Structure 1
């Protein structure tokens, strides 16, 4: 398994993986979780996918997408501020040039692949990939909204999230917003054995 980064509008021939990711998001967020998301031709997309995000993907040894996350600069439109401001103090994210927002996170934890701390390899691969890309592109903080279950997983992995506000019920999900550090110490704690990545060639310079 390895982590890769793909720029949404400059995917360098990796468009089939982006398409597979959108299909995966449809199956997970609409099908499995029952979220009210927009589905077209079996693919989940929203307005944030049109803002030139970077996608972090975890790929199996066969090249299948086993995890995904979408990264956008916190200084622009963000899902936290525009769509899910409820867990934020004052209902807004105080973005800055050294902070990136992560959204649409998923890791396939079915089958084999448990790590030494009994977390799935795909989960740890995604955590490590997000941190590595963020550090490589001048970001030292990652803002996200997640559910309390994933918050516990983050803590177990050694990458605890600092809450920005209180837990809020959004739809049927107990949600919380917070900040995660993007630093070498965090990367080393979450990095699974045999971690491989292809992130550097699709770096961006933080604005």
Structure 2
């Protein structure tokens, strides 16, 4: 299930955004080893301050299982300002109808194998569909995306191969990166739907997303003990103090989840 978060509705989904940044930290900071800024487990950069669009995949409970970020190429974006080595001297693309897609990632630990709704393959295809259909509905004709060779192969295997590439392959941490172009056409979307077997609408409304258990719990008012834990985390002066406060908060969260499960 896909939720789109932008400047207009981000205030309604702080917990979803926080979980998204945590997923990005695990993928780009830990697993891929990209040169990114990770603080308290969350990966974010100054492009996240520009009110980008986030296309986010949620599971049946409302947990974040995938995400991707979209930025206009008419302003600052990663290919022009960070990954300029990929351009190899070419000028960056600037167009109101071409948007940049970056930070595409899927939670490989939460998802299983196979092709059912709880699989890595399904979540990946669903996120691709959400990105393409959101773009098409918004008047975007093409997406330029910075990916690694593994993601390039994933795109090709899912009948969603780039129609062209920009610049050259450049080293970006543990893996190389390249810039690929995807058109947001009915034909591409139809091919991806046929490959994945996804026929239904993939998008959640805001109200549907807010009603999901994990999202609903996160928006519930904090107890005095939860507020105390957050204060202790913020006030910690040593790693030992911080870890102790985090363990206490995790134990409290587990206790709350257990009570919720029993009540359900």
TM-score (ref. length: structure 1): 0.87
String of CA shifts for 1:72-107, please: whole Å, max 9, x gaps: 111110101100011214243221011010011102
Aligned residues of 1:113 and 1:122 also touching (Cα < 8 A): no
2:176 matched to which residue of 1? Answer: 174
Find the residue that maps to 1:90 and give its secondary structure. Answer: coil
2:67 matched to which residue of 1? Answer: 68
Distance 2:154 2:94 in 1: 25
2:105 matched to which residue of 1? Answer: 106
String of CA shifts for 1:113-139, please: whole Å, max 9, x gaps: 526xx9700110110000011001110
Aligned residues of 2:35 and 2:173 also touching (Cα < 8 A): no
Find the residue that maps to 2:34 and give its secondary structure. Answer: coil
Aligned residues of 2:113 and 2:120 also touching (Cα < 8 A): no
- Does 2:204 align with 1:198? yes
Q: Considering only aligned residues, what root-mean-square deviation do their CA atoms show, in Å?
A: 2.3
1:153 matched to which residue of 2? Answer: 154
- Where is the strand percentage greater, Structure 1 or Structure 2? 1
**Larger radius of gyration, structure 1 or 2?**
2
Distance 1:29 1:8 in 2: 24
Distance 1:119 1:17 in 2: 19
2:52 matched to which residue of 1? Answer: 53
What is the deviation of 1:112?
3.9
Find the residue that maps to 2:176 and give its secondary structure. Answer: strand
2:34 matched to which residue of 1? Answer: 35
Unaligned runs of 5+ in 1: 202-207
Distance 1:19 1:39 in 2: 13
Pick 1 or 2: higher relative contact order, CA cutoff 8 A, min separation 6: 1
Q: Aligned residues, how many?
A: 199
Aligned residues of 2:67 and 2:106 also touching (Cα < 8 A): yes
1:120 matched to which residue of 2? Answer: 121
Distance 2:205 2:133 in 1: 8
Aligned residues of 1:71 and 1:103 also touching (Cα < 8 A): yes
Describe the shift of the 1:105–1:19 C-alpha distance in structure 2 as closer, same or farther (beyond 3 A). Answer: same
Describe the shift of the 1:166–1:148 C-alpha distance in structure 2 as closer, same or farther (beyond 3 A). Answer: same
Find the residue that maps to 1:106 and give its secondary structure. Answer: strand
Aligned residues of 1:5 and 1:57 also touching (Cα < 8 A): yes
Find the residue that maps to 1:164 and give its secondary structure. Answer: strand
Aligned residues of 1:119 and 1:157 also touching (Cα < 8 A): no
What is the deviation of 1:25?
0.9
- Where is the helix percentage greater, Structure 1 or Structure 2? 2
TM-score (ref. length: structure 2): 0.69
Describe the shift of the 1:23–1:9 C-alpha distance in structure 2 as closer, same or farther (beyond 3 A). Answer: farther
Query: After the TM superposition, which of the residue ranges 118-127 and 12-21 deviates more from structure 2?
Result: 118-127
